[in-house]
Amino acid sequence: MANILVIDTDLGVCAQIEQALSQDGHRLINVSTALQATQLIQTYTPDVIILDAAQDDMLALCSRLRSVPDTARLPILCLSAGLSPAEALNTGSDDFIRKPFTSMELAARVRALSRWAQRQRQQPATITLNTLRFEPTRFTVHLGNKAINLTHTEYKLLELLAQQPGVYISIGDLLQRVWRYPDDPAGSALVRNHICNLRGKIERDPQRPSLVLSQHGRGYGLSSEVRVSR
């Protein structure tokens, strides 16, 4: 059961979302504009945000949410009839559904997002690397004495790479395991952009990465010199 903020001007879509998610016991709050959402989030923090990307101000809202520490890691599900998955996810969304969608698909995506967020909040311990220290409850990593806030997707990506340092994961596998998106050549730009953003936050020199490495034809991996404490 999660608190879900729905931002959409289409009353029919809002009704479909409410019908699909109320069966799982989720609590929904509906607003129609980015301004209303911004005002609401100042006093109310949802567990998941669902927004319609058809309006330009919604995309701007998504970017603003990612730039504020208190909301930078909120799971965001993007709905769109016109944008490609890569375009939608590049705004900072964690998942994407194309309109029209089925209630079953929407409910499944929201369950996955809310389960992941809940697991991260419930993990009491930190995972320590020789150069990085993870804080699962805050989606934050520490590089030396510097705390670095990551987005929900960046954290999932780095967390996956950290499971097996030195092992490279293909772009297709990353798309499926981080974004739950089918292996598609169009998705390679999405992965590269997130890797670039991640390196910009955690690498001492993003142009010469020493932590998040790549190998042509094999994908991306965390350096084998990084040790994970158990």
**43 and 102, same domain (yes or no):** yes
Whole domain around residue 45: which residue ranges?
3-121
Query: Side-chain half-sphere of 17: how many Cα atoms within 13 Å?
Result: 28
Q: Are 95 and 70 within one domain?
A: yes
Please check whether residues 54 and 66 belong to one and the same domain: yes
As beta bridge partners, residue 40 has: none
Distance CA 133, CA 48 (A): 26
Is residue 197, in this structure, part of any structural domain at all? yes
pLDDT computed for residue 69 by the predictor: 67
- Tell whether 71 and 176 lie within a shared domain: no
Of 92, 121, 150, the last residue of a domain is: 121
pTM over cut 0.75: no
The number of distinct structural domains making up the chain is 2
Residue ranges, the chain, pLDDT below 70:
55-56, 69, 119-131, 137, 144-145, 227-230
Tell the residue number behind the tokens 């993870």, with chain if given. Answer: 134
* Residue 19 sits in the same domain as residue 7: yes
Q: Which residues share a beta bridge with 28? A: 4
Residue 141 lies in a domain: yes
Instruction: Read off the pLDDT of residues 88-104 as tens digits, 9 standing for 90 and up.
Output: 777 778 888 888 889 99
End-of-domain residue from the set 80, 101, 121? 121
Boundary-marking domain end, from 121, 147, 178: 121
Residues 59 and 140: their CA atoms lie apart, in Å, by 24
Q: What is the CATH number of the domain that holds 44?
A: 3.40.50.2300
Residue 176 located in a structural domain: yes
